[in-house]
A = this chain, B = another copy of it.
Amino acid sequence: MSKDSNTIYVGTKPAMSYVLAVITHFNSPEVKEVSLKARGRAITTAVDTAEIVRRKFLKNLKADKITIGTEELNREDGMKNVSTLEILLKR
């Protein structure tokens, strides 16, 4: 698992914002892997981000490990389950 500093939380911004964040992380030569984490609707954006980075920018990157899970969110109207996705990008 990557260190927290190499984890990017994907939210509601356009995929390109996260693409730039991934590229910036990999600009440090000591960074070997970056983890993309998303939940709910942002899962699609996380997959878009990984695919754009791999196809257009850092073509030697691998989606080394993809894991899915569930988180319980404590909301005003009670507990809600939300799906999560993590993509570990490795060079």
Contacts and interface: CB of A to CB of B under 8 A. Distances in A.
Contacts of A51: 68-70, 81, 83
A69 B62 CA distance: 12
Instruction: Quickly give the copy total for this chain.
Output: 2
Interface string A41-59: 1011001101100010000
5 contacts: A43-B44, A44-B44, A51-B69, A55-B81, A68-B87
Given A67-B66, A70-B55, A48 B87 contact: no
A14 interface: no
Contacts of A67: 63, 66
Interface in A21-55: 40-41, 43-44, 47-48, 50-51, 55
